[in-house]
Structure formats: C-alpha cells, structure tokens
Amino acid sequence: MSFSGNVKEELSRQLSAARHCQIAEIAAIISMCGAVCIDVRGRYSLKIHTENLAVARKCFTLLKKTFNIRTDIAVRTNRAKGSVVYYVIVKNHEEAIRILQAVKLIDRHGEVMEELSVVRNLVIQQSCCKRAFLRGAFLAAGSMSDPQKSYHFEIVCEAEPKAVQIQKIMQSFRLDAKIVLRKRSYVVYLKEGAQIVDALNVMEAHLALMELENIRILKDMRNTVNRKVNCETANINKTVSAAVKQMEDIKFIQETTGLEKLPDGLKDMALTRLTYPEATLKELGSLLNPPVGKSGVNHRLRKLSEMAEELRAKQGGAI
C-alpha cells in the first residue's frame, strides 16, 4: 500500500468521540464526494462514492454511529480502467433529509446548497470540528506523495469556494496552504515536509506522522553527510590542484635558472615541496628548518609561482 493509502487507512480508524465532530467529518465527505438525488416525486436519497475501501468503511461507520442509519453498499468495477468504485447509499427520504439538515447542506426550505457547498457552514466553528472536517476532506479527495521521493500533500476540489474554505481552515492551524488550478479542479496543497507533518498532526494521523518524521530525519542526515563529503572533496581537489601547479612552477624554475640561485628560504621551500608533493601547507611548514606557519608557507609558494610566471613571460618574449 502507498504512503497515502496508509494515511487514509489510519484516518479511517480514527473516530471522534463528540457527535458535532462526527457531523463535521461527514459534512466534508459528502461535500467532496457525495451526491444528492431527487426523484420525480421530490423524494431525496444520498450517495457517497469513493475508490478507497477504507473511506467507504468510514462513511458506513460514521452514518451508523452518528445517525443510527443503516446504509446500502454497492460496488462497481470499471474493467477498462481496472478500478473499483464503492457507493454508500442512503435510500430513505426521511433519513437522507435528516443527514443533510444535520450537516447544514440543505436549507429550511429543502433546497440543497449549490455544489454541496459547505462555505459559511456552522458545523465547523470549533477547532476540534475543523480538524475532523480536514480529516474528512482528505479521506474523500486527498492524497500524498511518497515522502522517500518528494513532499507533496493535496486535496482536490471541484469548486473554488470549497478550495478557499479548506485553505482558510488549514491556515487557521498555521499551515501555509496554496491553491492551484489543475485542469478543471482546484487543488489545495502543501510542499514542505514540516508543514505536511503539521497537517498530519492536525488530522490526528499520528502513526503516519512518526513515519514521515523518521523519513525526514534520515533524508536530512543523508543530505548533511553528502554536503560535507562534497565540501571536503572540493577542498581536496582544490588542494591537489594547487599542489600540482606549485610543482609545475618549481620544476620550471629548476629547468630554466636552477634552484641554486634562489634565496635560502625559497630554495628550502621549493626542495621541500618537491620532496613532499602531497603534504599540506601546515605539514610543509613543520618540515622546514626553522618551522614556518601556514601563511609563511603560502607566501613563499606564491613568490615561487610569481617567479615562474615572470620566467615564462620572458621566455615567451625571447621567442
């Protein structure tokens, strides 16, 4: 099962103790993946569809526990797409009306809110109900990428007002949710690992939260180690390149004018570098007599390099 599937499996087992929170979660599920059907006699029925068995099971449990309503379950298989859709159906008119009134998706005149909009809905005023609502919205229309590969959390909405409402609820928990239009859907998303951890905490998916945190820690450790290795490798390459250049300059001086004509300090420095081509500046300084610090070694090697460049220039002019 995918990481997203594991999160939904965990959330499907999470059942709020308070009835008002149960109603808020049902409101989100119906709004995101529900449909109200009205027959020719004006009688209502309610249908909730999902491709996730855990979500269907959660809908069935919530409706049973909150309203003591027995629902019908239907399964449809799309062989062309290789997918299965689960339907949780409330056929009884009075029971459907009772649910819609409780979740405030129908007004006192019996009119269903346009696109089952939950905007300005009174069932999500309290913080605990907002948590339940986000849990229901994610169960119905959310997904997450595999955190081993990337960090991405999203809830797909059919209408912009729904997306804006979910964004505002997430922002009330200090989650920096953004909205993007993808084809004909409005997607509320998070991209930062720390923000997604907070979102899982808000929805009370604590097992998934711990798994994600462990993955984040391991990835951060790998990135830190890689940065250090890359930095050290770059420093080694820089040191080796500098040493190779120093050797070339000293050998050029040796072949043209000879090292014997150099001042004693530069001569000792040149001979020591030729003898110990892989030594660091600090090691070279300790090998000199008397010993010299890194800045002194660097100064002498730079003087040798300048002398070599002057000789090359004269040689080029003579040609």
Nearest to 185 by CA among 158, 165, 163: 158
pTM of the model: 0.70
Domain ranges in the chain are 14-204, 227-318
Nearest to 50 by CA among 29, 22, 80: 29
Q: What does the block give as tokens for 209?
A: 């939260």
Mean pLDDT by 10 residues, the chain (319 residues): 90 89 91 87 90 90 90 85 88 90 75 58 80 94 91 92 91 94 93 93 93 88 85 80 87 87 87 87 88 89 90 70
pLDDT of residue 121: 61
Helices (H) and strands (E) counted in the chain, each on its own, are 11, 8
Can you spell out the DSSP letters for 149-210? T---EEEEESSHHHHHHHHHHHHHTT---EEEEETTEEEEEE--HHHHHHHHHHHT-HHHHH
Fold (topology level) of 14-204: Endonuclease I-creI (3.10.28)
Q: What is the largest CA-CA distance in the chain?
A: 113
pLDDT of residue 319: 40
